[in-house]
Amino acid sequence: MSGDYEQREPDQLDGVPPPELQPGVLGHEAALLDLRGRLAREIFAATGDESPEHISEQVGAGAYPNLFVLRKAPRDTGKGYYTVVRVEEVRNVIHRLQQTRGRAGHRVVIVDPIDDANPNATNAMLKILEEPPADTTFFLVSHRPGSLLPTIRSRCHPIALRPLGDDEVRAVLRRTRGELDDATIERAAALAGGRPPRRAEAPLLSDPQLLTALRLWLDAPGRPPANAHLLLADGLGASRDGAESRFGRDILIQWLAEEAKAAAIAGTRGRLASANELWDKAIALFADTDEYNLDLRQTLVSVFDAIKRHARTHLVVTEPL
C-alpha cells in the first residue's frame, strides 16, 4: 500500500494518509472546542475569499500558498530525510512570510513537531514568535512540551491531546483503513492504547506475540529467565523498519515516560533521577541508531540492560533479578 499516498514526512506509514489529507478529527472533543477558530482550514475559509471545498483540495495537495508546514526536510542527495528541522527551513519560512501573501486571508504555520528543531532552528523560531507577522497563526506540535524553551512555551496556548478510547480508535480505523476486517480492527484497538502511531501500526502486525512478551517483560524487568531481554532484542531488532520493531520502540518509550511520571508522583528523588537518566540514554541511543544506521539489536540490548539496572534499584520486584 506504499503507493497510496505521496511520502511527505520521514515517519509516514504505508497506507496511512498524512494529516493534511484527513477529512476531520475523531475524538479529542475538549481540545477541538478549544481549537475552533484556529484550525487551518477554518482560518482560511473564514478570512479568505475561496470556497471551503477549494481550500480543502489545495491543503490536501500541499499547494495552498497561505499554509506553511515545517517538517524534517528531504536530504539534498534525494535519499532519506534530515534528522532534525534545520535553521535553513525556518529561515525560508520566515522569508516567505515577509513576502506578499499568495491568497487573501490569514496565514498558518505548522511546525510538526517543534521537538525535532535543532537549537539554531529553535532560536530562529523564537524570534518570529516574539514578533509574529500580522494575521498569522502558529501551531507548534510537541510530543515533549516540558523540554521546550520556557520562552517558547510562554508564548503558546497549550492544548493537551490524550489517548483515544477504544471506540474512537475503531472509528478512526474504519474511516482510514476501510479494507480491514472486524477482527483486525479489534486487535488493533486492543494494542493501540489510544495512541495514533500504534493505531496505524497495529493492523500491519502479522503476529503480536513478540509485543505481548515485551509488555510482560516490562511489567517486571529482569524476571527469569535472565536472557529474556536478549530474545526480545533478537526479535525486535531483526527488521529495524518492520512494524514490530517500530511498535516495540513506541511501547518502550511509553514505558520510560510512564516510569518517570510515576517516580515524580511518588516523590522519590533517587528513582526520579534514575528514570530521567534512563529516558535521556534511551532517546539518545535510538537517535544515534537512526542517524548512523547502527545495529538496532545492540541498541535494544543496551536499553534493556539500563532498564534492568533501574528496576533492580528502584522498583519492587516479586522475583529475584
**What DSSP string runs through 126-153?**
HHHHHSPPTTEEEEE--S-GGGS-HHHH
pLDDT of 40-60, one tens digit each? 788 888 898 888 888 888 888
Three-state SS for 170?
helix
Q: Which residues pair with 85 in a beta bridge?
A: 117
Give the pLDDT band (50/70/90) at residue 88.
very high
Domain map (residue ranges) of the chain: 37-153, 205-314
Confidence tier at 317 by pLDDT (50, 70, 90): low
Distance between the two ends of the chain, CA-based, in angstroms?
44
pLDDT for 4 equals 64
pLDDT of residue 320: 45
Q: How far apart are CA 16 and CA 246, in angstroms?
A: 15
Q: Give the alpha-carbon dihedral of 245, 200, 115, 158, to 10 degrees.
A: -140
Instruction: Using pLDDT thresholds of 50, 70 and 90, give the confidence band for residue 14.
Output: low
Res 233 pLDDT > 60: yes
Helix boundaries (H) for the chain: 29-35, 40-47, 52-60, 87-97, 119-130, 150-153, 166-176, 182-192, 196-201, 209-219, 228-237, 243-266, 269-292, 296-314
- Residue 100: per-residue pLDDT: 87
pLDDT given for residue 1 in this prediction: 38
105: which 3 cell numbers?
486571508
Question: Which CATH number does the domain 37-153 belong to among 3.40.190.10, 3.40.50.300, 3.40.50.2300, 1.10.10.10?
Answer: 3.40.50.300
Q: What is the pLDDT of residue 187?
A: 80
pLDDT digits (tens, 9 = 90+) for 129-188: 999 999 999 999 998 888 889 999 999 989 888 877 888 888 888 887 778 888 888 887
CA gap 247, 91 in Å, rounded: 34
Is the pLDDT confidence value at 230 over 90?
A: yes
Mean per-residue pLDDT of the chain: 84
